Structure 1
């Protein structure tokens, strides 16, 4: 390769946020989040039952560069729900309730038997806004609503500027929807037993609108498996001891970090050009999981092979862009690179940039 492994190690040193920097930011975030949770749980609202779901890059320990952006999921268990798939989407659903003799605590958010994502989100937002007023001297404010975003975004202004996306997630303990049947292809990599255990975990629904023509279907919920992603990243080796103190160190997470950094740096370089706007770290993460499926053995990810492993990840991602195919890791019927979601010129633009980087030893890393 055009780039020595030692050089990649240097890049990783650079993106390794100082633990201090992260924990300082995380401390403020946790304080605000705990405060909000206590208020929600102590109040008399429909959100009394919320709890924290610790997922996302911070908890996965693959957070890079910006310690000023955090995602937090507030989960709310909703028993006895019935899902109705929206337009064969596989990922988007209308949420209905099975008859509940004791009445339904979410009654007020129902719209013709359907749990209205927008109604529920508005109320969630309103309560958070009111609670934020009670938090003294942190300079916390709620950002104005962004269309199509499932998050309530808090801005913390001191000690420094941090934004926190709070996402409401419904928790269902039923079995996973049929669209996930052939997903999570980890049997050869992490084993069938691990797969069965993971599929016994709850699944989550976030209030993310499906696209409907040029608009949005405001009432749908989208499946989310971020808790499973976190789990896979944490226990990522075929051998139980992979990356443990006495175990052999692999470079899986390093590759994911480098891939995330590559996309981030390209976005920076091109000032968030329209062609790159639709690409996000979730695309990189999904492609990375597929490479783990493709190369399931720990010895294929030896730390000494970092360069080669990273190149495999880059090659796979380029392949996805060229074929316009990137299947959701949990819902194989969903193509994240379909033309409905990302136009071909955007994919061609990103391909071109990644190829340039790959052929020139990744100048964007320096």
Structure 2
């Protein structure tokens, strides 16, 4: 049977609350990610609730008291960035990344002008993972306060915003205790001998373990992984992301054989039974006020709502683990060669891949038997080992502002979704979109020096510029599956992308007043 021609069912998905592409713990309005999930709290990271020591700048910075211009710019001028353009043969569709910054005075950013136009021809696009041609900045040693802590162009203060986003250690510990108690109870039930899911184990992924969680510890993701040996996957409708799952053999001893229909492992049937076991066990938990939320069409998660001591939402996601080679659609993905190195890429591709019961959508109905690829564990690895230097951001290593830029990008989208929660144009945007754009920025600007903490406002502006370009040309390639466009017309309509683009432009031109709301 040709999977691309398998008839879509008119049934709605049996999943829980939306948590697509999981791996994010954002606010309730922007929590979902196309292939990640919010991670449970097992151990509080050592640096939660505090920042690492500020490194001594090797070169001079603006004199004490120097401030950025305070007037509200009407646009932004592109910065001059010399360097020989390089060609990305297969990626001419992608927006041109913000180029390498030349030596410049931090205290005097370029005068504002209209944003950059959409992608230039392929000849001007940088090669995937090509190293930045950024020129070193010449400074004479002169101690001074970190300019990133002072006002950025437009008057907003990046460090002050990040300080407000920092999680409270006591709140994290309290939430962890409650969440872990419920999750451990469910895990023991799943592992009981009469359960079809007795081989499940926890997979710790998501923004908490990536250490980019923002706001409050009130939403978490838990992934229950289940190893399924000897399976084969068949790509659904040339998507690159959605697959039918079949067993190479169907032994009667296989507890999952009851979920097989016409040789295909049914995602909807497995999710239905997974949800049923959770609902039954939740009724037996008397010491915690917890309930199961109504399922939402197309979602792979079973969502729990814990009401005491604080309201906490927990998404539980079933994930099939395969230790086979990654599907062919990922062959050109994960472009970290010039950033983390070819050896690191090869090692990451030797890790298992996961399939979550997220159904492909055909028009207004869902194909309920499909599974979607998930690489949330690889995303966690990348973010926790994100520097060209192996000691980047370690206690005694050189610091960078990569994670700070991601936190600000996530916060920007989260605030906009809150501010325009009644507008349907914002419904389909999620933190995974900005996370994907951020990964592409890291690949295009791999050097740690590009992400100098003293350039935080400029690096953040580059990330915003790239995200706007993706919105304008309606292309945001999945970081692991290049042919899967997260901004395609069938996923997010042009009107919604234009709406978000205008709101981001307004915020950037006026010093991000949205950061002061809520």
* Partner Cα distance (2:278, 2:418) in 1: 32
Establish whether residue 25 from structure 1 lines up as the match of residue 182 from structure 2.
no
Q: Secondary structure at the match of 1:42?
A: coil
For 1:97, which of 247, 251, 269 is the aligned residue? 247
The answer to which of 98-107 and 86-95 deviates more is 98-107
Instruction: Compute the RMSD of aligned alpha carbons.
Output: 1.2
Please list the CA deviations of residues 202-247 of structure 1 after superposition, one character each: whole Å capped at 9, or x if unmatched.
0000000101122110110000000000000000001000000110
Inter-partner Cα distance in structure 2 for 1:20 and 1:249: 26
Q: Secondary structure at the match of 1:205?
A: strand
Question: Which residue matches 2:288?
Answer: 138
User: Could you tell me whether the CA contact under 8 Å between 1:83 and 1:95 is conserved in 2?
Assistant: yes
Matches within 5 A, 1:341-360: 341-360=491-510
- Rate the CA distance shift 1:110–1:2 in 2: closer, same or farther, 3 A: farther
The DSSP-based 3-state class of the residue aligned with 1:59 is: helix
Q: Which runs of 5+ in 2 are unaligned?
A: 1-67, 71-146, 150-156
Cα drift, residue 59 of structure 1:
1.4
Report whether the alignment pairs 1:5 with 2:148: yes
User: 1:220 aligned to 366, 370, 394, which one?
Assistant: 370
TM-score scaled by length of structure 1:
0.98
Counterpart selection for 1:113 from 263, 271, 274? 263
- Cα deviation for residue 104 of structure 1 reads 2.4
| Structure with more of its chain in strand, by fraction | 1
Q: Which one of the candidate residues 278, 299, 321 is aligned to 1:171?
A: 321
TM-aligned CA deviation for residue 111 of structure 1: 0.7
**Residue 291 of structure 2 is aligned to residue 291 of structure 1:** no
1:54 is the counterpart of 2:204: yes
Distance in 2 (alpha carbons) for counterparts of 1:26 and 1:56? 14
2:330 equivalent to 1:330: no
Partner of 1:320: 470
Judged with a 3 Å threshold, the aligned counterparts in structure 2 of structure 1 residues 12 and 2 are, in CA distance, closer, same or farther, namely farther
How many angstroms does 1:359 deviate by? 0.7
> 5+ unaligned residues in a row in structure 1: which ranges?
none
Partner of 2:455: 305
Between the aligned partners of 2:274 and 2:463, the Cα distance in structure 1 is 39
Bigger relative CO (Cα 8 Å, ≥ 6 apart): 2
| Correspondences of 1:273-284 after superposition (within 5 Å) | 273-284=423-434
After superposition, give the CA deviation of every residue in 1:3-33 in whole Å (9 maximum; x if it has no partner).
8732100000001121221222122111111
Q: Is the 8 A contact 1:171 1:205 kept in 2?
A: yes
Q: Distance in 2 between matches of 1:9 and 1:311?
A: 14
Does the CA-based 8 Å contact 2:235-2:242 persist in structure 1?
Answer: yes
Aligned-residue offset at 1:102: 6.1
- What secondary structure is seen at the aligned counterpart in 2 of 1:336? coil
Counterpart in the other structure of 2:214: 64
One of 240, 245, 258 as aligned partner of 2:408: 258
What is the 5 A alignment of 1:265-276?
265-276=415-426
Contact in 2 for aligned 1:72/1:165 (Cα 8 Å): yes
Q: Does the CA-based 8 Å contact 2:244-2:371 persist in structure 1? A: yes
- Give the structure-2-normalised TM-score: 0.69
Post-superposition shift, 1:311?
0.5
Q: 2:454, 2:367 → 1: CA distance?
A: 48
Please give the secondary structure, in 1, of the residue aligned with 2:255: coil
Q: Relative to total residues, which structure has the larger helix share, 1 or 2?
A: 1
CA 1:312–1:302: 2 relative to 1, 3 Å:
same
Q: Write the deviation string for residues 302-340 of structure 1: whole angstroms up to 9, x where unpaired.
A: 111101110110000001000100000000000000000
Q: Distance in 2 between matches of 1:129 and 1:21?
A: 27
For 1:359 and 1:286, the matched residues in 2 are separated by: 24
- Is 1:40 the counterpart of 2:159 in the alignment? no
Q: Give yes or no for contact 1:85–1:92 (8 Å, CA) kept in 2.
A: yes
* Inter-partner Cα distance in structure 2 for 1:144 and 1:274: 21
CA offset at residue 109 of structure 1?
A: 0.3
User: What is the DSSP-based 3-state SS (H/G/I as helix, E as strand, rest coil) of the residue aligned with 1:84?
Assistant: strand
- 1:173-215 superposed Cα distances (whole Å, 9 cap, x missing partner): 0010000000000000000011011000000000001011221
Q: How does 1:187-266 map to 2 (within 5 A)?
A: 187-266=337-416
Q: State the alpha-carbon separation in 2 of the partners of residues 219 and 272 from structure 1.
A: 33
Seen in structure 2, the aligned counterparts of structure 1 residues 101 and 214 have a Cα distance that, compared at 3 Å, is closer
Q: Which of structures 1 and 2 has the bigger CA Rg?
A: 2
Q: How far apart are 1:100 and its partner, in Å? A: 4.3
